[in-house]
């Protein structure tokens, strides 16, 4: 992909010159960034660290998926409405493109936009703010353009087939302009964030934002097809409202509508003008006003992260602040090693951004999925079987979280496990697992069961308890069966073992346990009787896990 | 010392938020000098260098390099200076050759020229076998060599080195020391910050000690020694107020025993 982009850039050389950039430098920066992207796996685009080889396989795979999804959506909403009822379907199509662009920008490219390694490497060189900023925009846009293109390929095809080539071309251009507009809006968004939030907090906030966004997308894939009831909502005749001028996807849709109908009236002309002027005005505005501010703020990102002398002195910490972590650690662990691992895992899982980014969205989505299914699904969701399905289904997400425990960017620090006189690494593994159970699994199940009890009646309490115990059993079994890593001791790519095979196995076991549970519900007191059995099994397996010796642990 | 100074600082103040880091630095450096800039952690060494190379524009006071104001002419200054940062930041998924190509292009050098120079320089640092290997696997010393080359590739007039010897092996240290000496002999100015006292003592024409954002000593080693005939290490400890390290060490051992 890199040569194509560079070729295109060379064609646009005069444009960059007029925008005040040093083209040679810009080209060098973009080239290096693209090369590095190819060698690095995408953080969340290619989830679970599928390390791409020299070529950007994961990215291409994602483009393929986008193309399929975009194609289906276009087929569903753009291929049947009457010529004069295309406005809302088009709006939906553009909303989808814009939403995905914004998502990608925030979840995957915030690291690109806010990359402070540039501070050390590029800022000391004679590169002007404008060149650096433009290089960043070009770098990001090259991805966004391909994403926007692959999403709207179906729509372009359908439109040019139904309404002529001009409509198709317009669709193409406007999809690209949507991406530009999103770059502008995200830039503004970040600048606003930076204005109100201290720089050191910014990354934290963005992290939480990413988590929320990720939940929205996961949920969106599920929800969107359900929300689209094509017969009623979409083909409504278009009634123009003044606030439509404030909704960017409507500009684009209006502009395409101009050609589709074809109609040239005041409203369509305004939409057309907005669609074409706004992205360029955004670009001009960014280039004119935001560049220096942005880079300056960015170089602040690093400076701010000097060691801050905490207000609480060491003495005070020792005496007064026996926090939750210590208290929980005291309650739930038996030996010092386990206690240490418990507190360590507890703290890192709360602070490591990558861990949070990889696990919290999954958990959030697990909850969202259950709620959505129970409301939407007419047949499946209301069946007496569904809440059991939900309870067991949810435990998969916790296992994924456990899987992430072994991974860290700071995996090199794992030498301490090797140098410390640890006789039984099992104590560390069990302490860390306990922290995961107390910190993630239990609150997660509390929320889930609260919802299920609310919706299906409090008499389901026995089922919830048994499902919880069974999930614990399965969590420990999966921990026992899979390769055991010390907490946070391996690099991401070391973990790309056969996830699918293991996932399948867990799925089967999950199914068997779930169905047995379902069977038990027909036996009087069967569920209540099974709970102690399940607890005993958990106890046995957990002790087994705790006895893990060095020969069973894989050091990264 | 009657030449026009190549680096000039007048009443330089800088603070991060509300914490002052530099409290009025005054400094003139003539061409052809090796200046050793030393001070304890957090004294403001790296901050001074970052201001001089135009990375931190929001300071108070006056700073000129090569006769140009750092605030208004930072691009022109950056073009003519070299900088080797302390924390070994480089794009390590690249190979040394790709990285040097990239940096060279930022200075507007020709790709052919960069390639030729980079190959020679890498060979001189005994990295010729690793020209096309990715730097992710490089040791700290190897990275440091690549960084040094990347800072000097465009043949700058003024060179800012922040801990340039960290991670290098003994032979490379000797080599780099000699390179610094010869750079100065050929008329270039080297502004050098380090914690390793005996290196500073040996290669610097002039030593500047800062502590808590202020210059507390300035002169040749002989001049500094003139005040108290000790090694630079002792002098440093005395001036920066960390005398009695023996006592601290004793206490340290004592605490370990508890």
Averaged pLDDT for residues A141-151: 87
Asked if the Cβ–Cβ distance from A31 to B85 is below 8 Å, we say no
Asked if the Cβ–Cβ distance from A25 to B57 is below 8 Å, we say no
Q: Is the pLDDT of residue A40 over 50?
A: yes
Counting one residue from chain A and one from chain B, the pairs whose CB atoms sit within 8 A come to 68
Q: Sort A177 into a burial class: Cβ within 10 Å, 0-12 / 13-18 / 19+.
A: buried
Nearest CA in chain B to A125: B78
Asked if the Cβ–Cβ distance from B91 to A36 is below 8 Å, we say yes
Q: Is the pLDDT of residue A307 over 60?
A: no
Q: Give pLDDT, residue B189.
A: 92
Asked if the Cβ–Cβ distance from B105 to A24 is below 8 Å, we say yes
DSSP conformation letters of A344-379: HHHHHHHH-HHHHHHHHHHHHHHHHHHHHHHHH-SS
Q: Residues of B with CB below 8 A from A21's CB?
A: none
Mutation target among A124, A135, A409 for the B interface, most CBs of B within 10 A: A124
Among A29, A32, A123, whose Cβ lies nearest the Cβ of B94?
Answer: A32
Q: Is the pLDDT of residue A141 over 90?
A: no
**Distance separating alpha carbons of residues A354 and A203, to the nearest angstrom:** 12
Q: Is the pLDDT of residue A308 over 80?
A: no
Q: Give pLDDT, residue A540.
A: 92
With an 8 Å Cβ cutoff, the interface of chain A facing chain B consists of: 22, 24-25, 27-29, 31-32, 35-36, 39-40, 117, 119-128, 296, 299, 303-304, 306
pLDDT band at A294; cut points 50, 70, 90: low
User: B80 to chain A, minimum CA–CA distance in Å?
Assistant: 9
Q: Give pLDDT, residue A535.
A: 92
Nearest CA in chain A to B19: A308
With an 8 Å Cβ cutoff, the interface of chain B facing chain A consists of: 16-17, 53-58, 75-76, 78-79, 83, 85, 87, 89-91, 93-94, 98, 101-103, 105-108, 134
Asked if the Cβ–Cβ distance from B75 to A126 is below 8 Å, we say yes
Alpha helices in B61-107 (DSSP H): 74-80, 96-106
pLDDT band at A92; cut points 50, 70, 90: confident
Q: Give pLDDT, residue A112.
A: 63
User: B151 to chain A, minimum CA–CA distance in Å?
Assistant: 9
Q: Could you count the other beta carbons within 10 Å of the beta carbon of residue B179?
A: 17
- Choose the weakest-confidence range: A9-23, A225-239, A492-506: A225-239
Averaged pLDDT for residues A263-281: 86
Q: For chain A, how many residues are written? A: 556
Asked if the Cβ–Cβ distance from B106 to A122 is below 8 Å, we say yes
User: What would the two tokens of residue A63 be?
Assistant: 């483009």
Compare B30 and A44 and report the one with higher pLDDT: B30
**Distance separating alpha carbons of residues A42 and B96, to the nearest angstrom:** 23
Q: Give pLDDT, residue A214.
A: 66
Asked if the Cβ–Cβ distance from A125 to B87 is below 8 Å, we say no
User: A24 to chain B, minimum CA–CA distance in Å?
Assistant: 7
Q: Residues of A with CB below 8 A from B133's CB?
A: none
DSSP conformation letters of A452-519: HHHHH-GGGHHHHHHHHHHHHHHHHHHHHHSPEE-TT-B-GGGG-S-HHHHHHHHHHHHHHHHHHHHH
pLDDT tens digits, residue range A466-510?
Answer: 888 888 888 888 888 777 888 888 776 544 554 556 667 777 878
Q: For residue B33, which of B229, B223, B187, B219 has the smallest C-alpha distance?
A: B187
Q: Sort B133 into a burial class: Cβ within 10 Å, 0-12 / 13-18 / 19+.
A: middle
User: B212 to chain A, minimum CA–CA distance in Å?
Assistant: 15
Among B78, B87, B102, whose Cβ lies nearest the Cβ of A28?
Answer: B102
pLDDT band at A316; cut points 50, 70, 90: very low
pLDDT band at A224; cut points 50, 70, 90: low
Reported as type and span, the H/E element at residue A159 is: helix A129-163
Q: Is the pLDDT of residue A237 over 60?
A: no
Q: Residues of A with CB below 8 A from B110's CB?
A: none
Q: Give pLDDT, residue A369.
A: 73
Reported as type and span, the H/E element at residue A137 is: helix A129-163
User: A317 to chain B, minimum CA–CA distance in Å?
Assistant: 19
Query: Are A5 and A143 spatial neighbours (Cβ–Cβ below 8 Å)?
Result: no
Asked if the Cβ–Cβ distance from A306 to B89 is below 8 Å, we say no
Q: Residues of A with CB below 8 A from B79's CB?
A: 126
pLDDT band at A315; cut points 50, 70, 90: very low
pLDDT tens track, chain B, 258 positions: 446 788 999 999 888 777 888 888 898 898 888 999 988 887 888 888 888 888 888 888 999 999 899 888 888 888 899 998 877 678 888 899 999 999 999 898 888 999 999 999 999 999 989 988 888 888 888 999 999 999 999 999 999 998 888 888 888 888 999 999 999 999 899 998 888 888 888 888 898 988 888 888 888 888 877 766 667 777 777 777 766 778 888 888 888 988
Q: In what order do the strands lie in the sheet with B206-211?
A: B81-84, B158-162, B189-193, B34-38, B206-211, B214-219
Q: What is the DSSP letter of A286?
A: I
Averaged pLDDT for residues A129-151: 85
Q: Give pLDDT, residue A318.
A: 47
pLDDT band at A309; cut points 50, 70, 90: very low
Distances in whole angstroms, Cα of residue A157 to Cα of each of A75, A83, A152, A163, A177:
10, 16, 9, 10, 18
Compare A222 and A443 and report the one with higher pLDDT: A443
Asked if the Cβ–Cβ distance from A126 to B78 is below 8 Å, we say yes
Q: Give pLDDT, residue A108.
A: 63
**Distance separating alpha carbons of residues B26 and B36, to the nearest angstrom:** 15
Q: Give pLDDT, residue A301.
A: 53
Q: Residues of A with CB below 8 A from B132's CB?
A: none
pLDDT band at A49; cut points 50, 70, 90: very low
Q: Give pLDDT, residue A311.
A: 44
Asked if the Cβ–Cβ distance from A24 to B87 is below 8 Å, we say no
Strand partners, B22: B14
Q: For residue B188, which of B205, B164, B211 has the smallest C-alpha distance?
A: B205
User: What would the two tokens of residue B231 be?
Assistant: 């090694």
**pLDDT over 70, % of chain A:** 76
Q: Is the pLDDT of residue A543 over 80?
A: yes
Q: Is the pLDDT of residue A328 over 50?
A: yes
As a whole number, the mean pLDDT across chain A is 76
User: A5 to chain B, minimum CA–CA distance in Å?
Assistant: 17
Query: Are A366 and A447 spatial neighbours (Cβ–Cβ below 8 Å)?
Result: no
Asked if the Cβ–Cβ distance from A39 to B57 is below 8 Å, we say no
Q: Give pLDDT, residue A199.
A: 60
What's the pTM? Answer: 0.71
Among B58, B98, B103, whose Cβ lies nearest the Cβ of A125?
Answer: B103
Mutation target among B106, B133, B144, B157 for the A interface, most CBs of A within 10 A: B106
Q: For residue A129, which of A12, A299, A380, A284 has the smallest C-alpha distance?
A: A299
Mutation target among B105, B137, B157, B162 for the A interface, most CBs of A within 10 A: B105
Averaged pLDDT for residues A85-112: 75
Q: Give pLDDT, residue A298.
A: 60
Q: Give pLDDT, residue B34.
A: 92
**Distance separating alpha carbons of residues A227 and A229, to the nearest angstrom:** 6
Strand partners, B19: B16
Q: What domains appear along chain B, each with residue ranges and CATH number?
A: 7-257 (3.40.50.300)
């Amino acid at each position: 992909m890199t040569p194509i982009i560079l070729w295109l850039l060379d064609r646009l050389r005069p444009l960059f010159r007029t925008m005040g950039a040093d083209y040679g430098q810009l080209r060098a920066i973009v080239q290096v960034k693209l090369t590095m992207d190819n060698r690095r796996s995408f953080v969340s685009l290619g989830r679970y660290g599928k390390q791409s080889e020299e070529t950007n396989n994961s990215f291409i795979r994602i483009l393929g998926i986008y193309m399929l999804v975009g194609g289906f959506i276009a087929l569903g909403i753009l291929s049947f409405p009457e010529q004069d009822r295309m406005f809302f379907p088009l709006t939906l199509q553009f909303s989808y493109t814009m939403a995905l662009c914004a998502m990608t920008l925030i979840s995957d490219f915030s690291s690109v936009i806010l990359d402070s390694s540039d501070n050390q490497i590029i800022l000391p060189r004679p590169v002007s703010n404008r060149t650096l900023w433009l290089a960043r925009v070009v770098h990001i846009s090259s991805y966004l353009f391909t994403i926007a293109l692959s999403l709207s390929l179906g729509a372009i095809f359908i439109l040019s087939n139904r309404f002529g080539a001009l409509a198709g071309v317009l669709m193409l251009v406007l999809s690209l302009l949507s991406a530009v507009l999103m770059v502008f809006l995200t830039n503004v968004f970040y600048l606003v964030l930076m204005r109100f939030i201290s720089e050191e907090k910014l990354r934290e906030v963005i992290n939480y934002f990413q988590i929320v966004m990720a939940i929205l997308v996961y949920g969106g894939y599920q929800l969107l097809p359900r929300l689209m009831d094509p017969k009623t909502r979409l083909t409504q005749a278009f009634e123009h409202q003044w606030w439509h001028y404030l909704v960017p996807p409507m500009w684009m849709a209006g502009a395409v509508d101009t050609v589709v109908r074809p109609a040239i009236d005041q409203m369509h002309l305004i939409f057309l003008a907005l669609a074409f002027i706004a992205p360029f005005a955004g670009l001009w505005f960014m280039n004119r006003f935001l560049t220096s501010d942005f880079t300056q703020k960015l170089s602040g990102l690093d400076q701010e992260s000097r060691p801050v002398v905490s207000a609480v002195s060491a003495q005070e910490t020792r005496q007064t602040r026996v926090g939750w972590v210590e208290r929980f650690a005291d309650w739930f662990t038996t030996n010092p090693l386990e206690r240490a691992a418990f507190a360590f895992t507890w703290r890192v899982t709360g602070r490591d951004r990558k861990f949070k980014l990889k696990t919290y969205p999954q958990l959030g989505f697990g909850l969202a999925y259950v709620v959505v299914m129970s409301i939407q699904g007419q047949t499946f969701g209301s069946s007496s079987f569904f809440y059991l399905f939900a309870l067991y289904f949810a435990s998969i997400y916790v296992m994924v979280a456990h899987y992430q425990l072994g991974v860290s960017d700071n995996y090199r620090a794992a030498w301490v496990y090797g140098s410390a006189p640890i006789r039984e690494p099992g104590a560390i593994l069990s302490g860390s697992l306990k922290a995961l159970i107390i910190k993630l699994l239990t609150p997660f199940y509390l929320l889930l069961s609260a919802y299920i009890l609310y919706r299906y009646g409090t008499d389901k309490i026995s089922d919830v308890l048994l499902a919880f115990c069974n999930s614990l059993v399965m969590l420990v079994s999966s921990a026992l069966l899979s390769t055991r890593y010390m907490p946070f001791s391996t690099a991401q790519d070391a973990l790309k073992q056969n996830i699918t095979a293991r996932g399948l196995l867990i799925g089967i076991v999950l199914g068997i346990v779930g169905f047995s549970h379902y069977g038990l519900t027909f036996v009087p007191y069967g569920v209540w009787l099974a709970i102690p059995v399940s607890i005993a099994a958990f106890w046995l397996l957990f002790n087994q896990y705790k006895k893990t010796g060095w020969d069973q642990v894989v050091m990264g | 010392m009657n030449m026009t100074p190549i680096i000039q600082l007048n009443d330089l103040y800088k603070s991060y938020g509300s914490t002052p880091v530099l409290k009025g630095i005054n400094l003139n450096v003539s061409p052809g000098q090796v200046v050793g800039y030393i001070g304890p952690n957090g004294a403001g060494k790296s901050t001074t260098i970052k201001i001089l190379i135009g990375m931190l524009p929001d300071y108070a006071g006056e700073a000129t390099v090569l006769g140009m104001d750092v605030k208004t002419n930072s691009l022109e200054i950056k073009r003519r200076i070299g900088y080797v940062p302390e924390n070994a930041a480089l794009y390590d998924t690249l190979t040394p050759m790709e990285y040097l190509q990239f940096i060279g292009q930022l200075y507007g050098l020709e790709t052919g020229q960069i390639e030729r120079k980079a190959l020679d320089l890498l060979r001189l640092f005994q990295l010729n076998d690793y020209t096309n290997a990715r730097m992710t696997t490089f040791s700290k010393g190897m990275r440091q060599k690549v960084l040094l080359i990347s800072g000097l590739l465009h043949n700058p007039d003024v060179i800012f080195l922040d801990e340039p010897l960290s991670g290098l092996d003994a032979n490379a240290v000797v080599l780099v020391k000699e390179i610094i000496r010869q750079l100065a002999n050929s008329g270039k100015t080297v502004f050098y910050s380090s914690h390793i006292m005996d290196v500073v003592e040996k290669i610097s024409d002039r030593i500047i000690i800062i502590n808590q954002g202020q210059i507390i000593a300035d002169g040749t080693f002989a001049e500094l020694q003139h005040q108290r005939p000790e090694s630079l290490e002792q002098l440093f400890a005395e001036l920066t107020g960390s005398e009695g390290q023996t006592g601290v060490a004793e206490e340290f051992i004592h605490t370990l025993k508890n």
